[in-house]
C-alpha cells in the first residue's frame, strides 16, 4: 500500500536515519522507495543488486589482459546508483584507484512544503515524485489494483492540491531560479535539495554526482575527462530512434579522454541476462570491438558506423 512507503524526508534529510539499521534493512527501504518513484518520462528509478556483476568481471579481465589501470570512470543513466557503487567497489577490490562520475537525467530533486502537514518531492522541473502528507508517503501515480482500496482517490486529491498551491506559491519560478543548486536556508517553500541515489553513493566522496542528459551536447566540464565510460540499460532501440542513438554515442565519445579509452554499452534483458559490448576508441575517432558479454550490444552496428 502507498502509506507503507518510506518517505523521502525520512531517507534523505534525517540525520543518519538508517545508521542503526542492518545493511539488508537499508537496502529494503531504498528498494521500496525507488521502485515507487516514476519519473516524468515514465521510467522507474530502481535498480536490482548485482545486476551487472558479469559485466564488471569481464571488464576487469580485459584490463588485466591489456595491462592497463584506468583511473577516471563515468557511469551514465545510473538510476538509483546501486550498479554504480557495485562497479566502483569491484574496481577497488581489483586494486584500482578509481575516480568516478555518476550521472542521471533526474539526479537532483527538491523537497517542497505546501503546508505544515504536506511535503512533495519534485524534480528540477517541478514534476511530483512523491507526496508526504501527515506522515504518510504516497505515490504520485496509482496502480489499477489499488483503485478499490481508495488509493486512487488520495493520489488525485494530493495531485490537485499540489497543482493549485504550487502555482500560488510560484514553485516553478523558484525551481528555475535555483538551476539545480540548494535553496536558501530561509526559503519558505523549497526546504531542501536531495540527490536521488542510494546512500552508499551519496556518502562516497570519490564519486561525483551530476544531472546529465546524454542526448544533449556534452557540457564543457565533461569533455575529454574519462578513460572509461559505461552506458548500461539506456542506449537501446526501444528508448531512442537511430539518429538519437548516433547522437548519444557521439556525445559519449566526446567525454572520452582520447585514443585507447573504453566505452561499454550493455542492456539487461532479464535478471542474469546481460548483453553488451566493450569498445575502444581508435586514433581516427572510430571504435573497435574488444569483447562482448552475451550477444553483444544491440546497437553495436551504430557505434561502429560512427
pLDDT digits (tens, 9 = 90+) for 108-128: 999 998 888 888 999 999 899
Residue that wins the pLDDT comparison between 22 and 304: 304
DSSP-based three-state secondary structure for 229: strand
Cβ-contact 260, 69 below 8 angstroms: no
How far out from the chain centre does Cα 207 lie?
A: 13
From 3.30.428.10, 3.40.50.150, 3.30.420.40, 3.90.660.10, which CATH number describes the 53-106+198-304 domain? 3.40.50.150
Q: Render pLDDT for 188-235 as a digit per residue (tens, 0 to 9).
A: 889 999 999 998 898 898 999 999 999 999 999 999 999 999 999 999
DSSP-based three-state secondary structure for 17: coil
- The pLDDT of residue 143 is 60
Distance (Å, whole) CA 113 – CA 37? 18
Confidence band for 246, pLDDT divided at 50, 70 and 90? very high
Q: Which whole number is the average pLDDT over 62-91?
A: 96
| pTM of the entire predicted model | 0.88
Cβ-contact 297, 267 below 8 angstroms: yes
Residue 34 has φ and ψ, to the nearest 5°, of -65, -35
Residue that wins the pLDDT comparison between 238 and 42: 238
Q: Which whole number is the average pLDDT over 91-97?
A: 95
Distance (Å, whole) CA 59 – CA 34? 28
- The pLDDT of residue 266 is 97
Of the listed ranges 19-33, 149-163, 165-179, 237-251, the least confidently predicted one is 149-163
- Asked if residue 22 has pLDDT above 70, the reply is no
Cβ-contact 276, 262 below 8 angstroms: no
C-alpha radius of gyration, the chain, whole number: 20
- The pLDDT of residue 21 is 53
- Asked if residue 151 has pLDDT above 70, the reply is no
Q: Distance between terminal CA atoms of the chain?
A: 48
- Tell me what percent of the residues of the chain surpass a pLDDT of 70: 90
Distance (Å, whole) CA 155 – CA 146? 11
Confidence band for 90, pLDDT divided at 50, 70 and 90? very high
Q: Where are the domains of the chain?
A: 2-36+109-195, 53-106+198-304
Q: Which whole number is the average pLDDT over 153-163?
A: 71
Q: Please report the beta strands in the chain, taking only residues with DSSP state E, as ranges in sequence order.
A: 72-76, 99-104, 108-115, 118-123, 128-133, 136-139, 190-195, 207-211, 228-232, 262-270, 273-281, 287-293
Amino acid at each position: 500500500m502507498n502509506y507503507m512507503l518510506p518517505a523521502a524526508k525520512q531517507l534523505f534529510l534525517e540525520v543518519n536515519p538508517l545508521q542503526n539499521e542492518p545493511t539488508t534493512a537499508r537496502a529494503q527501504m531504498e528498494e521500496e522507495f525507488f521502485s515507487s518513484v516514476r519519473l516524468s518520462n515514465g521510467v522507474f528509478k530502481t535498480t536490482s543488486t548485482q545486476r551487472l556483476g558479469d559485466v564488471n568481471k569481464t571488464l576487469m579481465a580485459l584490463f588485466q589482459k591489456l595491462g592497463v589501470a584506468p583511473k577516471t570512470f563515468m557511469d551514465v543513466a545510473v538510476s538509483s546508483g546501486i550498479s554504480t557503487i557495485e562497479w566502483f567497489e569491484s574496481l577497488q577490490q581489483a586494486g584500482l584507484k578509481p575516480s568516478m562520475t555518476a550521472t542521471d537525467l533526474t539526479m537532483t530533486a527538491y523537497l517542497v512544503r505546501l503546508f505544515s502537514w504536506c511535503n512533495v518531492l519534485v524534480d528540477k522541473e517541478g514534476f511530483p515524485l512523491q507526496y508526504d502528507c501527515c506522515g504518510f508517503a504516497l505515490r504520485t501515480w496509482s496502480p489499477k489494483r489499488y483503485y478499490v482500496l481508495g488509493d486512487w482517490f488520495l493520489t488525485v486529491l494530493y495531485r490537485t492540491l499540489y497543482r493549485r498551491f504550487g502555482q500560488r506559491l510560484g514553485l516553478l519560478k523558484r525551481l528555475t531560479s535555483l538551476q539545480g543548486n540548494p535553496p536558501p536556508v530561509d526559503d519558505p517553500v523549497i526546504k531542501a535539495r536531495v540527490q536521488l541515489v542510494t546512500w552508499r553513493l551519496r556518502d562516497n566522496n570519490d564519486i561525483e554526482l551530476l544531472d546529465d542528459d546524454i542526448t544533449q551536447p556534452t557540457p564543457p566540464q565533461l569533455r575529454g575527462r574519462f578513460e572509461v565510460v559505461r552506458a548500461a540499460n539506456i542506449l537501446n532501440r526501444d528508448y531512442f530512434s537511430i539518429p538519437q542513438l548516433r547522437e548519444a554515442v557521439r556525445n559519449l565519445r566526446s567525454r572520452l579522454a582520447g585514443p585507447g579509452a573504453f566505452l561499454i554499452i550493455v542492456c539487461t534483458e532479464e535478471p542474469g541476462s546481460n548483453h553488451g559490448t566493450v569498445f575502444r576508441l581508435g586514433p581516427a575517432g572510430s571504435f573497435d570491438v574488444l569483447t562482448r558479454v552475451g550477444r553483444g550490444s544491440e546497437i553495436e552496428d551504430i557505434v561502429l558506423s560512427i
